[in-house]
């Protein structure tokens, strides 16, 4: 009996924490799979269109991906993935807090209702109605606060993740094609291409480098990988 009472006394967030953790992990796996299949930059034309949509076609953000790719962007991946995980975990975490608040308010209402039934006091009835109005108002405020905080945050994280992912794709595409091209060109040509890549600041600069590499590959009988970037 005491065990049951002890379980009932546990906060709602503590009871639901294991379920939430499992849910976040499953959501992360499913989300990662869908991202790889549908949204990953360079994998599909839909991915590039989605990137344009979430960045409002910003040329500055697009160029930021290429300037970041000029240096090795792969060590930053773990930090970006952590940001994405935090964003995914935010929704259930906030949900638990709100549920705990609502449950506490409902418990107060139940106690007041029991008092009304026992005493038949009209004053208690008025207090219940007042409390119900307060709860409804508080919930509306919580909903608005949630969306005001969560939407900008998830938007920033999504854009940062997408731009960084594009940087990694550009970096890998360049190095893969350089590995193919190197046996067919002189050391000076390799150094010149790498120097141009290291100074790259825009998507147009990357395209010019790719065009030069394609020209050399065609002349020397090499076949480069065709990797579509943003």
pLDDT tens digits, 165-186: 888 889 989 999 999 999 999 9
Give residue 32's pLDDT. 63
Alpha carbon distance 70, 206 (integer Å)? 9
Least confident of 1-15, 127-141, 157-171: 1-15
Residue 115 · residue 124 · CB < 8 Å: yes
Task: Assign 201 to helix, strand or coil.
Answer: coil
Is the confidence at residue 54, as pLDDT, over 90?
no
With cut-offs at 50, 70 and 90, classify the pLDDT of residue 164. Answer: confident
Give residue 33's pLDDT. 56
123 CB neighbour count, 10 Å cutoff: 9
Q: What is the DSSP letter of 47?
A: H
Instruction: Write down the pTM of the prediction.
Output: 0.60
Task: Assign 32 to helix, strand or coil.
Answer: helix
With cut-offs at 50, 70 and 90, classify the pLDDT of residue 189. Answer: very high
- Give the tokens for residue 226: 């065709």
Please tell me which residue, 217 or 18, carries the higher pLDDT value: 217
3-state helix, strand, coil in the chain (%, to 5): 85, 0, 15
9 CB neighbour count, 10 Å cutoff: 7
């Amino acid at each position: 009996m005491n065990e049951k009472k002890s379980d009932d006394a546990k906060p709602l967030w503590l009871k639901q924490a294991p379920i939430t953790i499992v849910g976040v992990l499953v959501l992360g796996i499913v989300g990662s799979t869908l991202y790889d299949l549908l949204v990953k930059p360079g994998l599909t034309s839909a991915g590039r269109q989605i990137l344009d949509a979430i960045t409002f076609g910003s040329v500055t953000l697009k160029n930021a991906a290429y300037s970041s790719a000029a240096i090795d962007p792969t060590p930053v991946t773990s930090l970006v993935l952590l940001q994405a995980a935090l964003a995914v975990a935010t929704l259930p975490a906030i949900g638990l807090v709100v549920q705990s608040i609502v449950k506490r308010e409902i418990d107060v209402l139940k106690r007041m209702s029991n008092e009304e039934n026992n005493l038949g006091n009209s004053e208690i009835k008025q207090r219940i109605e007042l409390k119900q109005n307060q709860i409804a108002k508080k919930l509306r405020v919580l909903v608005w606060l949630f969306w005001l905080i969560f939407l900008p945050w998830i938007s920033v994280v999504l854009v940062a993740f997408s731009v960084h992912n594009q940087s990694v794709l550009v970096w890998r595409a360049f190095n893969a094609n350089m590995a193919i091209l190197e046996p067919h060109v002189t050391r000076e040509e390799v150094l010149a291409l790498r120097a141009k890549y290291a100074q790259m600041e825009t998507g147009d600069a990357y395209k010019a480098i790719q065009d030069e590499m394609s020209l050399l590959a065609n002349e020397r009988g090499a076949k480069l990988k065709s990797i579509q970037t943003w």
